[in-house]
């Protein structure tokens, strides 16, 4: 497991007005690549690389699915809730194959982080890293090494 020492402190990622205008901002927080998203009056932060195969979530569209705002990964269109990092998929009941597909949850797959605004400055605090989440792999040194070899 990676060391988590010191990662609990918040890190300045940009000016509130700038992020509201651009709606997206990528940043490195304690060595972790995150995207800060401003949408409908709220800030969100999550790991920037998609839990499925490392896709660039900062380039994804936002859709509302089942009343939850989701980022849609531009690579394979996985839907991830902005607030919780939950992976959503459409499932069909095999006992009733003619019924329409329903949105279901895979559970939390993408690590989300806390965003705070103080005096017009936006800060991100990483979530508790002690328990692994799927998107962690795309923040790892192992993954960075595979990119260098590609």
Which positions touch ligand FES (CB under 6 A)?
A: 50, 52-55, 73, 75-76, 78
Asked if residues 111 and 47 have their Cβ atoms less than 8 Å apart, the reply is yes
- Least Å from the CB of residue 59 to ligand FES: 10
Cβ closest to ligand FES, residue 10 vs residue 136: 136
- Least Å from the CB of residue 77 to ligand FES: 6
DSSP secondary structure string for all residues of 102-113: EEEEEEE-S-EE
Cβ closest to ligand FES, residue 10 vs residue 112: 112
Cβ closest to ligand FES, residue 10 vs residue 110: 110
- Least Å from the CB of residue 138 to ligand FES: 9
Nearest to 32 by CA among 4, 60, 55, 74: 4
- Least Å from the CB of residue 73 to ligand FES: 3
∠ CA(106), CA(111), CA(112), 5° rounding? Answer: 110
Cβ closest to ligand FES, residue 54 vs residue 127: 54
Nearest to 11 by CA among 32, 30, 33: 30
Rounded to whole angstroms, the Cα distance separating 42 from 115 reads: 10
């Amino acid at each position: 497991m990676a060391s988590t020492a010191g990662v609990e402190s918040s890190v300045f990622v940009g000016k509130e007005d700038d992020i509201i205008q651009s709606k997206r901002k990528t940043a490195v927080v304690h060595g972790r690549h995150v995207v800060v998203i401003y949408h409908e009056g709220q800030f969100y932060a999550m790991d920037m690389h998609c839990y499925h195969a490392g896709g660039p979530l900062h380039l994804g569209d936002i859709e509302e699915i089942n009343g939850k705002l989701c980022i849609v990964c531009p690579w394979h269109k996985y839907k991830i809730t902005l607030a919780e990092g939950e992976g959503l998929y459409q499932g069909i009941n095999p006992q009733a194959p003619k019924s329409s597909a329903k949105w279901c949850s895979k559970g939390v797959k993408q690590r989300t982080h806390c965003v705070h605004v103080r005096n017009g400055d936006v800060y991100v605090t990483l979530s508790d890293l002690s328990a692994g989440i799927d998107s962690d792999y795309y923040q790892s040194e192992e993954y960075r090494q595979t990119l260098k070899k590609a």
